[in-house]
């Protein structure tokens, strides 16, 4: 007789390429039965029109309440071993206390620079989780010093093997995505400054920028480079593979955080796609990759431009570095590796 699978309830997005969806699939591959309670089915997060956003604010409180009630119903029905929230923007502290009363452990995978930049619910809830897995080394310090939370450990970002993988570009990829240099990510003042400087110093480079909020960019040098929309899932991977050089520019420090990004999800996504990455240099990056061997890194704009000149002129070298970068990530940095780490923690700490 085959024993029933262990079960878990997951709070996550369900779009291809997201942390939560990748983690949920990895948990299922590990043999677990998973029930997903997605926040977006209850709370209007993507209404883009002005009227929609106004209406969304009116119904958000009701949606948050309905979402948390559904989360508790799912746990009551399934009696899972644990609940895992990916960021958990709308998970209430009171819900986590109820889970504890029911004997269900609650975990949070928190991926962002600051836990104070995404609403007031997150700091309140983080105090109630049985364990928090943060992707930021400085996040351990911030949680301890700002919230008094010590039930934490570092768990790095990862890649989704279903999405972030090598593939041959087709003609459509070449026409839509091919470029010398690309950046994929949300706008910030620092990123705009770096990319504008690059475009000024190398005006003949084919530069493309995908991501949200780039309508906030004010530098006219970026006008033709900004595509005007984000890319996710398969399209994100196709854009990475079609770029000769993929830039990994890190987010600066945000309100409530003691530091800015040291590595990010793209640190793993780009090499997993078999693509060449030029990454802002940090000590944490160099713990994962060897500079000039499995990654190219830069410290300032002059070094960035010099590096781009060098690698654009040497496609065989780019390919070799990209291949070694892929080997570096596939050995230890997939979402299967991360879920196995979470399961090992759960096994060691459950009653």
Collect all residues with Cβ–Cβ distance below 8 Å to 94 and sequence separation of at least 6.
68
Q: Is the pLDDT of residue 55 over 70?
A: no
- For the ranges 6-15, 254-263, 289-298, 327-336, the lowest mean pLDDT is seen at 254-263
Q: Please indicate, yes or no, whether residues 180 and 151 belong to a single structural domain of this protein.
A: no
Which residues make beta-bridge pairs with 247? Answer: 183, 278
In a domain, 113, yes or no: yes
Q: Please indicate, yes or no, whether residues 188 and 95 belong to a single structural domain of this protein.
A: no
Q: Please indicate, yes or no, whether residues 176 and 152 belong to a single structural domain of this protein.
A: no
Q: Please indicate, yes or no, whether residues 35 and 153 belong to a single structural domain of this protein.
A: yes
Q: Please indicate, yes or no, whether residues 177 and 299 belong to a single structural domain of this protein.
A: yes
In a domain, 1, yes or no: no
Q: Is the pLDDT of residue 250 over 90?
A: yes
pTM: predicted TM-score of the whole model, two decimal places: 0.93
Q: Please indicate, yes or no, whether residues 208 and 308 belong to a single structural domain of this protein.
A: yes
Tell me the C-alpha distance between 135 and 113, whole Å: 8
* Measured torsion, CA atoms of residues 282, 255, 153, 9, in degrees rounded to the nearest 10: -120
Collect all residues with Cβ–Cβ distance below 8 Å to 114 and sequence separation of at least 6.
142, 254, 255, 256, 257
Domain coverage including residue 75? 7-158+334-349
278-313 pLDDT, tens per residue? 999 999 999 999 999 999 999 999 999 999 999 999
Q: Please indicate, yes or no, whether residues 14 and 154 belong to a single structural domain of this protein.
A: yes
**What pLDDT is attached to residue 46?**
64
| Residue 8 half-sphere exposure toward CB, CA atoms < 13 A | 24
**What pLDDT is attached to residue 184?**
98
The band of 1, judged by pLDDT with boundaries at 50, 70 and 90, is: very low
Q: Please indicate, yes or no, whether residues 344 and 317 belong to a single structural domain of this protein.
A: no
Tell me the C-alpha distance between 191 and 212, whole Å: 12
In a domain, 38, yes or no: yes
How many domains, the chain?
Answer: 2
Mean pLDDT for the stretch of residues 84-99: 98
Q: Please indicate, yes or no, whether residues 148 and 190 belong to a single structural domain of this protein.
A: no
CATH number at residue 118: 3.40.50.2000
Q: Please indicate, yes or no, whether residues 101 and 192 belong to a single structural domain of this protein.
A: no
Task: Return the H-helix or E-strand segment holding 7.
Answer: strand 7-11
Average pLDDT, the chain: 94
In a domain, 17, yes or no: yes
Which is more confidently placed, 175 or 265? 265
In a domain, 61, yes or no: yes
In a domain, 182, yes or no: yes
The band of 2, judged by pLDDT with boundaries at 50, 70 and 90, is: very low
Backbone angles phi, psi at 166, to 5 degrees: -70, 150
Q: Please indicate, yes or no, whether residues 205 and 257 belong to a single structural domain of this protein.
A: yes
The band of 50, judged by pLDDT with boundaries at 50, 70 and 90, is: low
In a domain, 298, yes or no: yes
In a domain, 345, yes or no: yes
The band of 49, judged by pLDDT with boundaries at 50, 70 and 90, is: low
**What pLDDT is attached to residue 53?**
62
93-134 pLDDT, tens per residue? 999 999 999 999 999 999 999 988 878 999 999 999 999 999
Which is more confidently placed, 131 or 171? 131
Q: Please indicate, yes or no, whether residues 114 and 208 belong to a single structural domain of this protein.
A: no
């Amino acid at each position: 007789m085959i024993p029933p699978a262990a079960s878990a309830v997951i709070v996550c997005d369900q779009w291809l390429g997201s942390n939560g969806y990748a983690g949920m699939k990895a948990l299922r591959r590990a043999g677990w039965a998973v029930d997903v309670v997605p926040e977006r089915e209850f709370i209007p997060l993507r209404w883009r029109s002005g009227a929609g956003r106004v209406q969304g604010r009116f119904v958000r409180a009701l949606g948050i309440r309905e979402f948390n009630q559904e989360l508790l119903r799912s746990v009551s029905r399934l009696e899972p071993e644990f609940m895992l929230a990916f960021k958990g923007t709308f998970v209430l502290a009171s819900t986590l206390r109820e889970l504890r009363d029911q004997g269900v452990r609650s975990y949070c995978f928190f991926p962002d620079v600051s836990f104070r930049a995404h609403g007031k619910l997150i700091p309140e809830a983080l105090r109630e989780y049985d364990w928090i897995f943060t992707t930021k080394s400085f996040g351990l310090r911030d949680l301890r010093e700002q919230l008094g939370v010590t039930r934490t450990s570092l768990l790095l970002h990862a890649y989704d093997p279903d999405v972030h993988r090598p593939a041959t570009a087709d003609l459509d990829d070449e026409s839509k995505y091919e470029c010398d240099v690309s950046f994929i990510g949300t706008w910030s003042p620092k990123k705009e400054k770096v990319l504008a400087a690059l475009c000024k110093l190398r005006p003949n480079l084919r530069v493309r920028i995908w991501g949200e909020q780039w309508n906030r960019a004010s530098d006219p040098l970026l006008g033709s480079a900004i595509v005007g929309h984000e890319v996710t899932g398969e399209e994100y991977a196709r854009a990475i593979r079609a770029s000769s050089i993929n830039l990994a520019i890190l987010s600066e420090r945000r309100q409530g955080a003691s530091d800015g990004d040291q590595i990010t999800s793209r640190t793993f996504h780009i090499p997993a796609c078999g693509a060449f990455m030029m990454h802002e240099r940090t000590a944490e990056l160099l713990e994962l990759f060897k500079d000039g061997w499995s990654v190219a890194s830069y410290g300032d704009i002059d070094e960035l431009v010099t590096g781009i000149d060098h690698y654009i002129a040497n496609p065989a070298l780019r390919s070799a570095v990209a291949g070694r970068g892929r080997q570096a990530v596939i050995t230890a940095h997939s979402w299967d590796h991360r879920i196995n780490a979470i399961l090992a923690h759960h096994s060691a700490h459950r009653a």
